[in-house]
Amino acid sequence: MHDGLDHHGMNEEASLAAALRALPASTPPRDTWPALAARVRRRRAVRKTVWFTLPAAFAACIALVMLWPLAPQRAPSPAPARVAQRPQPAFAGSPAAPDIAALQARSRQWQTWVQNLDDNGAPLNGGALAQAVALQDRIGLIDLQLSASPDRIVSASLWQQRIELLQRLGALHLQPYAVADHANHKPADTMIL
């Protein structure tokens, strides 16, 4: 249909050949193929590394999880020594001045000991864990009351309660060791029935 029309002289083979010869010569840069080959090699190396390391890392994680319970348990550090409380001298007309700094220092010692037991001690069973959480909640409540109490006598009482709760929490963390120690004792040769 359109064979008879000659738009800009392009229907004839001679004019087409002349137009193509008039185009500038274009050659690709010489370093394109080596760059492409290097890129392909890098991608293959990365794929090979990923396909090898991912399963190896997964297997190592599984082995670690399986062997973790077999790791030896470290014995807990001894409890801080209980310091005997000296009665404070009372002056006529004024209540005994509590030593808040000493109570705070004792609380820090007990807190450090309990944290050490929590980090390095034996895991707690479900019931003991629930008791530990309840004790920690009560300690948190006392901390909140301490931050709001301006009275030294009330603060001293709250610090003492905090120390007692920390002692109970530490004793709770020591229960697995007491059970294990009790299981290792042999009954005496002479038993009275």
pLDDT band at 85 (very low <50, low <70, confident <90, very high): low
CB atoms within 10 A of CB 89: 7
Residue labelled with tokens 């963390």: 173
CA 108-81-143 angle, 5° bins: 25
Q: What are the domain boundaries of the chain? A: 34-62, 100-183
3-class secondary-structure state, position 88: coil
Q: In percent, how much of the chain has pLDDT > 70? A: 67
- Strands annotated E in the chain: none
Tell me what pLDDT residue 142 has.
87
State pLDDT tens for residues 159-182.
899 999 888 888 887 776 655 555
State mean pLDDT over 116-137.
79
CA distance 32 to 51: 29
Q: What does the mean pLDDT of the chain come to?
A: 74
CA dihedral 41, 43, 47, 48 (to 10 degrees): 20
Q: What are phi and psi of 184, to 5 degrees?
A: -80, -15
Whether residue 90 has pLDDT greater than 50: no
Tell me what pLDDT residue 43 has.
92
State pLDDT tens for residues 21-52.
888 887 766 777 888 888 999 999 888 888 88
State mean pLDDT over 138-161.
86
- Strands annotated E in 32-189: none
CB atoms within 10 A of CB 106: 21
Residue labelled with tokens 């999880």: 65
- Report pTM: 0.44
Nearest to 78 by CA among 170, 166, 164: 170
